[in-house]
Chains A and B, each alone.
Chain A
Amino acid sequence: MTLKIFLSRDAAAKALGVDDVADAITREAAARGVQVTLVRPGSRGMIWLEPLAEVETPQGRMAFGPMTAADVPGLFGDLSAHPKAQGLTEEIPFFKSQTRLTFARCGVIDPLSLADYEAHGGLAGLGRALAMTGAEIVAEVTESGLRGRGGAGFPTGIKWKTVADAVADRKYIVCNADEGDSATFADRMLMEGDPFTLIEGMAIAGIATGATKGYVYLRSEYPDAVEVMNAAVRIGREAGLLGASVLGSNRAFDMEIRVGAGAYVCGEETSLLNSLEGKRGIVRAKPPLPALEGFLGKPTVVNNVISLASVPVILGKGAKHYKDFGLGRSRGTIPLQIAGNVKHGGLYEIAFGLTLGEIVDTIGGGTASGRPVKAVQVGGPLGAYFPRALFDTPFGYEEFAGKDGLVGHAGLTIFDDSTDMLKMARFAMEFCAVESCGKCTPCRVGAVRGVEVVDRIAAGDPTAVPILKDLCNTMKFGSLCALGGFTPYPVMSALTHFPDDFSGSATGAKEAAE
């Protein structure tokens, strides 16, 4: 008898002890004299079931989780009687109800097997791109409606066109893998679970724009992703996917992985470029646009991991296939990252358009603590806190902007009713103060002042509330980048939607906050 077992290698699975489960499987197999093939794919995204083991059966992969070493012997017996049995993985409602385009292979294939990648549709997009002109590729990406998944939502095809039309001796593709937002891990999961998709997307971007060199700026907080990406680039080079002749064509494209150094602001594209050049991560004034004068002054595409990783499926299946999903001007799918105090946390890829309430209550299943949901922060540390009253907001760029919020990188942090929203507002200011690049006063000084003002409110000084509002206004309109400019979102949303938490010990503060 031989058994084929899939066990995630994703950092979240590792953080929950998957390697102990792997050891136990190897030991148990040896003790029983059973042949086991252990495959280590990325994560299926159901983090609450990690460590998730999947056993291959004629019906499909059977899921077991969350696994501990003690649950391992049961995998060698009657599977249906296993106490951690979850049924067929792809029939689990959280998984089944998704539309997986960008993450189609994540959790399914061995991330470092190029053969596995191709067998599951990999390289189809690049193959098609190699038969097209750069302008045709750019047109296809524009037609798909893909917008930047890094936060700003800028149309990817239009950015590519600017770089394609620029005349220069060298152009670059820079992948923004700084993913600093709390509640986001889509970039990490993709890089750990399907790195060739990102490589393929970057190669297509290079061919479309005439760039021959790519960099992935990957945050140092992701050691596992760094390891997988480096290995994948090496394998890609050996296989001729990267190099002087991409897949045997007359196009050249090669890339390198560069590791960040723990500065949140380096996720901002111009700060990132400075950092990549070996400078301090200070934000650059725009213009010039990076598309015209980017890395080392050359035309540069800066795109988020998910933007680039969505390109292969767009090219592979055609712009229309992608564009037909979505809502309004938010086309295609978005990998929601459901995090924080939530029962079913993880990555959920779906067309734009679900309401916030559906995401939090139906898919997320409410809080992990079992207490009522108080607030959901959408879009990371610069995103607004949404109260239940706004749970009917559909997930889309314009729809969230219309409620004074943002989609950002599509991370959602769920908080239960024990949360003190004044404390969260204070944290937003503190975070901005710690991470400010220091270039402009409203951000550098304003954030420090912001912490002080929130402390005054906490101490019961109602006159500090209008000061906080003024300060937010100054930061919003006087900051060069979104770190200073968007910190008012979490602060003002907390103040607006949860005024009771700002009433301090004094009466009257509540009215002042309205």
Chain B
Amino acid sequence: MTNTLSSERLGEIIATHAGLEGPLLPIFHAIQEEVGHIPQDALPVIAQALNISRAEAHGVMSFYHDFRANPAGRHVVKLCRAEACQSMGADALHDHAKERLGIDFNETTKNGAVTLEPVFCLGLCACGPAALVDGKVVGRLDAEKIDRIATECGA
């Protein structure tokens, strides 16, 4: 995944989705899928194409937890903080993960390998604590699994 979005490619993404009813979120998702974040200089272009204000485009982007303004690390690890996972000891595990990686939630390791994010429920509540590693589900997380994930991600 490269981190830059050419204006040509941006134009293509906008054109592909412009015919949808409510195209903005699909456009954001497509951009983030491709370059890992929403480059801020894309916002005025999108705003103009959809005939909305730049402030509106920015407001929408920043409302949603998923969209990031800056590139994430090479791997994104999301840990579930919701109740069912808490009942299985998620909090203590999260402390372990933060310690192992040397970062807090919403931070990226110094070597750029891992971004750690909280998430509220992955629908894996009968096999928690749960995580999503680069879009892949992980259940019954324990300290050992966290260490293995961290190592595999190069952190």
Interface positions of A (Cβ within 8 A of B): 11-12, 14-16, 47-48, 50, 179-185, 187-189, 220-224, 256, 258-264, 275-281, 295-296, 337-342, 345-347, 368, 377, 381, 411, 413-416, 419, 424, 427, 431, 434-435
Q: How far is the CB of B22 from chain A (nearest CB, A)?
A: 4
Interface contact A223-B87, CB-CB below 8 Å: no
Is B66 part of the binding interface, using a Cβ–Cβ cutoff of 8 Å?
yes
Smallest CB gap from B135: residue in A: A223
- Which of B65, B121, B126 lies at the interface centre, i.e. has the most chain A CB atoms within 10 A of its CB? B126
- Which of A50, A279, A339, A377 lies at the interface centre, i.e. has the most chain B CB atoms within 10 A of its CB? A339
A183-B59 contact given A259-B25, A261-B66, A341-B87, CB 8 Å threshold: no
C-alpha gap A179/B123 in the complex (Å): 8
Is B128 part of the binding interface, using a Cβ–Cβ cutoff of 8 Å?
yes
A16-B139 contact given A261-B66, A341-B88, A431-B120, CB 8 Å threshold: yes
State the main secondary structure of chain A at its contact with B.
mixed
C-alpha gap A435/B59 in the complex (Å): 16
Of the candidates A182, A189, A263, A346, which one forms a contact with B65 in the assembled complex, judged by CB atoms under 8 Å apart? Answer: A263
Is B153 part of the binding interface, using a Cβ–Cβ cutoff of 8 Å?
no
Q: How far is the CB of B140 from chain A (nearest CB, A)?
A: 7
Contacts of A16 in B (CB 8 A): 127, 139-140
Contacts of A337 in B (CB 8 A): 125-126
Smallest CB gap from A192: residue in B: B123
C-alpha gap A420/B49 in the complex (Å): 52
Of the candidates A12, A259, A338, which one forms a contact with B124 in the assembled complex, judged by CB atoms under 8 Å apart? Answer: A12
Interface contact A182-B121, CB-CB below 8 Å: yes
Q: Which of B3-11, B69-77, B78-86, B108-116 contacts A (4 or more CB under 8 A)?
A: B78-86
Q: How far is the CB of B56 from chain A (nearest CB, A)?
A: 8
Contacts of A435 in B (CB 8 A): 120
Interface contact B84-A183, CB-CB below 8 Å: yes
Interface contact A413-B87, CB-CB below 8 Å: yes
Of the candidates B25, B84, B119, B137, which one forms a contact with A11 in the assembled complex, judged by CB atoms under 8 Å apart? Answer: B137
Q: How far is the CB of B134 from chain A (nearest CB, A)?
A: 10
C-alpha gap A222/B122 in the complex (Å): 7
Of the candidates B24, B28, B123, which one forms a contact with A222 in the assembled complex, judged by CB atoms under 8 Å apart? Answer: B123
Interface contact A221-B64, CB-CB below 8 Å: no
Q: How far is the CB of A444 from chain B (nearest CB, A)?
A: 14
Interface contact B123-A185, CB-CB below 8 Å: yes
- Other A-B pairs, 19, CB within 8 Å; known A260-B66, A340-B126: A12-B124, A12-B137, A15-B138, A47-B126, A182-B84, A184-B121, A220-B29, A221-B123, A221-B132, A223-B135, A278-B22, A278-B23, A278-B24, A337-B126, A340-B128, A341-B88, A381-B82, A411-B84, A424-B83
Contacts of B132 in A (CB 8 A): 221, 223
C-alpha gap A224/B87 in the complex (Å): 25
CB-based closest 3 A-B pairs: A345-B126, A278-B24, A15-B139
Interface contact A50-B127, CB-CB below 8 Å: yes
Smallest CB gap from A344: residue in B: B126
Q: How far is the CB of A204 from chain B (nearest CB, A)?
A: 22
Interface contact A183-B26, CB-CB below 8 Å: no
Q: How far is the CB of A150 from chain B (nearest CB, A)?
A: 15
Interface contact B65-A261, CB-CB below 8 Å: yes
C-alpha gap A346/B23 in the complex (Å): 36
Interface positions of B (Cβ within 8 A of A): 20-26, 28-29, 50, 56, 59-60, 63-67, 82-88, 119-128, 130, 132, 135-140
C-alpha gap A512/B139 in the complex (Å): 41
A11-B123 contact given A182-B82, A262-B66, CB 8 Å threshold: yes
C-alpha gap A511/B21 in the complex (Å): 56
Contacts of B67 in A (CB 8 A): 261
Interface contact A15-B126, CB-CB below 8 Å: no
C-alpha gap A395/B116 in the complex (Å): 38
C-alpha gap A370/B88 in the complex (Å): 12
Interface contact B126-A185, CB-CB below 8 Å: yes
Smallest CB gap from B85: residue in A: A182
C-alpha gap A180/B64 in the complex (Å): 14
Interface contact B126-A12, CB-CB below 8 Å: yes
- Complex A-B: 29 CB contacts under 8 Å: A11-B123, A12-B124, A12-B126, A12-B127, A16-B127, A180-B120, A180-B121, A182-B121, A185-B124, A256-B20, A258-B22, A260-B66, A261-B29, A261-B67, A262-B119, A263-B63, A263-B64, A278-B22, A278-B23, A278-B60, A281-B63, A295-B21, A296-B22, A340-B84, A340-B126, A345-B126, A413-B125, A424-B86, A431-B82
Interface contact B87-A415, CB-CB below 8 Å: yes
C-alpha gap A224/B82 in the complex (Å): 20
Interface contact A340-B65, CB-CB below 8 Å: no
C-alpha gap A427/B85 in the complex (Å): 13
C-alpha gap A486/B140 in the complex (Å): 30
